[in-house]
Homo-oligomer: A and B are copies of this chain.
Amino acid sequence: MSNAQRALEHAKTQRSAYMSGFSELLRIPSISTDPNYKAEVARCADWVRDEMRRIGMKNCQTIPTDGHPVVYGEWLEAGADKPTVLIYAHYDVQPVDPLNLWVTPPFEPTERDGKLYARGSEDDKAGVWANLKAIESILAVDGKLPVNVKLFFEGEEESGSPNMHPFVAGNKDLLNADLFVLCDGEFVRDQPSIVYSGRGIVAAEVTLTGPDHDLHSGTYGGTVHNPLHLAGKIIGSFHDDAGRIQIPGYYGAVRDLTAAELANLEQLWARTGVQFKERSGAAHFWGESVASTAVRATALPTLDVNGMWGGYQGPGTKTVLPSKAGFKVTMRLVNDQDPVEIGRMFKDYVMSFATETVSIEVSVPVAGYPFSTQFEGAGVEAVQQALVATVGKRALMERAGGSVPIAGMFQRELGIPMTHLGLGPGDNIHSPNEYIVIEDFYLAIDTAIHVLYNLISFK
């Protein structure tokens, strides 16, 4: 029996213990976007650090940032001839609204029909946990890892990683490695995929102020500018009816896909497009005259209003002309779109609506660069062979519509090869009733074990 097989056997005997440890991790509400949860995020970081130590990792620590702490641990005794692998995942989670749509509470992990329901179960505590349990399994049977490993678990991915850039720039030695494995994403047993490209992101928040206090709309309507009206005008102006973004210069740095990329994308879409549409819950797609859905979903930039508010939202009628209105926006960027420049463009555009009757404030707190990882090579192949061993299939090479801001930044700051390994076998990320399929999660852990063995000859 090979070392890998012994580790896999060990993981099998530990399944129940591994799942109960996972539930402990899922019980910590590490919501990074909400300042009220700051202490819980810190508690989660400490918990993960302690677990790293317990399984035999070295130099385990939480490293403070201006936001939430990074959890770091390493095991570097494989020898200088072995590669060093830097594994990334994030331990923070999305908010839980609307809470009333959760069948069971988001931070009380609950098993139903072979699924474990909890916020963060897929995104991305699965990535944290599968790696920890893979390492634990190997160290338990082997006393050592096949390669040098650095674990880097972020605590503010769901807030757009505002402090990761200075952190990485200031810790290049600590994070130096031969390969960066990005463990954030889905593990799909039937047909896994490797994301080789992700979009950049800019997040912005707009606040409009009309009169200095709420007014009676029967008395002041028509004489005082209602900031909700101007918010509507701005939101309504972002897209034309076809769905094309109207901010001047927005598409300036967008490049067409190469013929090979386009062929790969459309080929992939032929397999996944139906499911994409089913899962969307949309009867009809939108923007089809702009480009094909496969291209719009991954190779074009977007601008979405994620929330808007103002005035009275309760039952019945309230004749109020509110003082304030606001909305939140995220934009997804591709290719050479620079998030700093796009953020400035957005701000200038929105500010151009300000009048003497309604003032506008725009903040652009989050910006992340687009990224592309290896399309082929030994790093990707280590993941591919691991998947062949666990689910019997090679992964498809995919472009992601979403963003991993840290990936683009990593690529720019560290300049090391990257590959992607999704370890979350579930659904409903960022939505109520997030879950993982428990049986498939065991395969994800097995895959993480295989990857470490497969990387022995990477260097």
Which residues does A use to contact B, with CB under 8 Å? 32-35, 94-95, 97-98, 158-160, 199, 201, 203, 210-226, 228-229, 231-239, 243, 276, 280-287, 293, 296-297, 300-323, 325, 327-328, 330, 332, 356-357, 365-366, 400-403, 429-432
Give 4 nearest A-B pairs by CB, closest first. A232-B235, A218-B402, A33-B316, A307-B311
Given contacts A95-B318, A229-B236, A327-B228, A223 and B286 within 8 Å (CB-CB): yes
Report how far A309 CA is from B283 CA in the complex, Å.
23
Contact of A215 among B95, B158, B280 (CB under 8 A): B280
Q: Does A218 contact B236, Cβ atoms closer than 8 Å?
A: no
Write 5 A-B pairs (CB below 8 A) sorted by A numbering.
Answer: A223-B285, A223-B296, A281-B323, A285-B357, A307-B322
Q: Does B356 contact A283, Cβ atoms closer than 8 Å?
A: yes
With a cutoff of 8 Å between Cβ atoms, the chain B residues found around residue A429 in the complex are 216
With a cutoff of 8 Å between Cβ atoms, the chain B residues found around residue A210 in the complex are 282
Report how far A402 CA is from B220 CA in the complex, Å.
9
Report how far A215 CA is from B323 CA in the complex, Å.
30
Closest chain-B Cβ to A159's Cβ sits at a distance in Å of: 6
Question: In the complex this chain forms, how many copies of it are found?
Answer: 2
With a cutoff of 8 Å between Cβ atoms, the chain B residues found around residue A235 in the complex are 228-229, 231-233, 235-236
> From A401, which residue of chain B is reached at the shortest CB distance?
B219
With a cutoff of 8 Å between Cβ atoms, the chain B residues found around residue A212 in the complex are 281-282
With a cutoff of 8 Å between Cβ atoms, the chain B residues found around residue A312 in the complex are 95, 97, 306-307, 328
Q: Does A314 contact B231, Cβ atoms closer than 8 Å?
A: no
Q: Does A33 contact B317, Cβ atoms closer than 8 Å?
A: yes
